[in-house]
Amino acid sequence: MKYHHSLSDLTTLVVEPSAMQSKLLRAELVKAGITQASVVADGALALAHLRNHPTSLVVSAFHLPDMTGAELIAAMRGEFSLAAIPFILVSSETRHHQLDPVRQSGVSGILPKPFSQAQLEAALRAVLDFLNVDESLDEDGFDLDTLRVMVVDDSPMARKFMRQVLTNLGVKQFFEAENGRQAAEMLSETIVDLVVTDYNMPEMDGQALIQFIRTQSWQKEVPVLMVTSEDNQSRLAAVQELGVVGMCDKPFEPNTVRTLLRRLLTAN
């Protein structure tokens, strides 16, 4: 694995309205290896800072004086120059409907308050994996040049994030669909080696898509990776029964995907 960044290289912006909390957060970042960190207290100041200062990572609270962390990451993803900056949310918020927009925006990590050093380090590893090209599969002799991956998600931001992770691992051929119905239509005429799909989508969700693949598609054996923010365990159990090679929570974890690709390529 060849990294072009280390934690000490990351120019980080902390967005936290509480002076005490920002001081504690900066101390934890320093312990983890982040040495360059600026602090702002609200979303507007964060966006102004990002537009004027090169930034490698944003670490933000959820509740800000002028907007939520979900609104901040949405604003970043909507600006071309800011869209690719990794984002970690730190929040005591646990409500699914509040956190789901953050997950759908291609976030590198969602940390609780308080978080452990191990949780922070895992999120920072995901940031590095997102920023860096990982040549380990290529160096081990696996051929990803011909691997055809279909990414299915109704969120363009989530699709972009997943494509970036897969591209960093060496995948070069992609097909995209914005819901299960579109994916099913594409699969009727497009050969793929892996389907990476969200669960919650309009028109046809991920479960219905997998059911279609396993019962109606001429590509019944194609491996499917479910990437989801769904928290209903009975629904997820039903998906597993349909046959998936893996289930990955949003945020989309590069390490999980790397392990899956290695397993798939070894089996072929």
For 136-152, how does the pLDDT look when each residue is reduced to its tens digit (9 = 90+)?
888 888 888 889 999 99
Q: 101-132 pLDDT, tens per residue?
A: 898 888 999 999 999 999 999 999 989 988 88
Q: Domain ranges in the chain?
A: 7-131, 136-267
Distance between CA atoms of residues 115 and 110, nearest Å? 10
Report the relative pairing of strands 57-61 and 11-15 from DSSP bridges. Answer: parallel
Assign 100 a pLDDT band (cuts: 50, 70, 90). confident
The per-residue pLDDT for range 167-195, each reduced to its tens digit, is: 988 999 999 999 999 999 999 999 999 99
pTM: 0.83
Question: Are 7-131 and 136-267 the same fold in CATH?
Answer: yes
**Architecture field, domain 136-267:** 3-Layer(aba) Sandwich (3.40)
pLDDT band with cut points at 50, 70 and 90 for residue 16: very high
**Contacts of 67 by beta carbon, 8 Å cutoff, 6+ apart:** 42, 43, 44, 75
Half-sphere exposure of 140 (CA within 13 A, CB side): 16
Residue type for 52, please? N
69-77 helix and 43-52 helix, angle to the nearest 10 degrees? 30
Spell out the CATH class of 7-131.
alpha beta
